[in-house]
Amino acid sequence: MARNLVRWEPWSDLVSLRGAMDRLFEESVVRPRAGWLAPLGAESLAVDMYETDDDVVVKTVVPGVKSEDIDVSITGDVLTIKGETKAEEKVEKANYIRQERCYGAFSRSLTLPSTVVADKATADFENGVLILTLPKAEEVKPKTIKVKAK
């Protein structure tokens, strides 16, 4: 009966742990994911979109932005939300402990699930929440056809 002996290397597990920590650090700090530790961009403008029988509704949160600093446009079946967060006064003599808020332009484009009537769309903005109500075009609204018996 033959037995195989495997040599135990006590440092091999530490080397793989070190490699894992290096990869974690490099992926999160050196090459951050889009939208993370970067200016407010497409991935960081979170959007909820749902449709009813009559409308497509889009909600997004844009805190610290004034309504006049938000632009909404519809081109074909693409909805684009653009805006800019403006920096407050710069503090010259402070030692920042943490500065995580991002400032600058942002933009997010979304493909709409249905054809909408852009001229009848409404945009409500309250407490940093933008709610777009986009009426569906008549040709995409569900139609009921009555069946008549003969």
105: domain CATH number is: 2.60.40.790
Is 60 inside any structural domain? yes
Is 145 inside any structural domain? no
pLDDT of 72 above 50: yes
CB distance 7 to 20 below 8 Å:
no
Give the tens place of pLDDT for each residue, 8-20: 776 666 667 777 7
Is 5 inside any structural domain? no
Q: In the predicted model, what is the mean pLDDT of residues 56-77?
A: 91
Same domain, 19 and 73: no
Query: Taking the model in full, what pTM does it have?
Result: 0.62
pLDDT of 131 above 70: yes
Distance between CA 112 and CA 81 in Å, rounded? 13
Domain total for the chain?
2
The pLDDT value recorded for residue 34 is 46
Distance between CA 63 and CA 85 in Å, rounded? 9
Nearest C-alpha neighbor of 71 from the set 34, 108, 126, 114: 108
Is 56 inside any structural domain? yes
Residue 79: which domain range? 40-140
Lowest mean pLDDT among 14-18, 37-41, 53-57, 62-66: 37-41
Nearest C-alpha neighbor of 110 from the set 142, 91, 82, 137: 82
The pLDDT value recorded for residue 84 is 85
Give the tens place of pLDDT for each residue, 95-128: 777 777 777 888 899 999 988 999 999 999 999 8
* Higher-confidence position of 91 and 69: 69
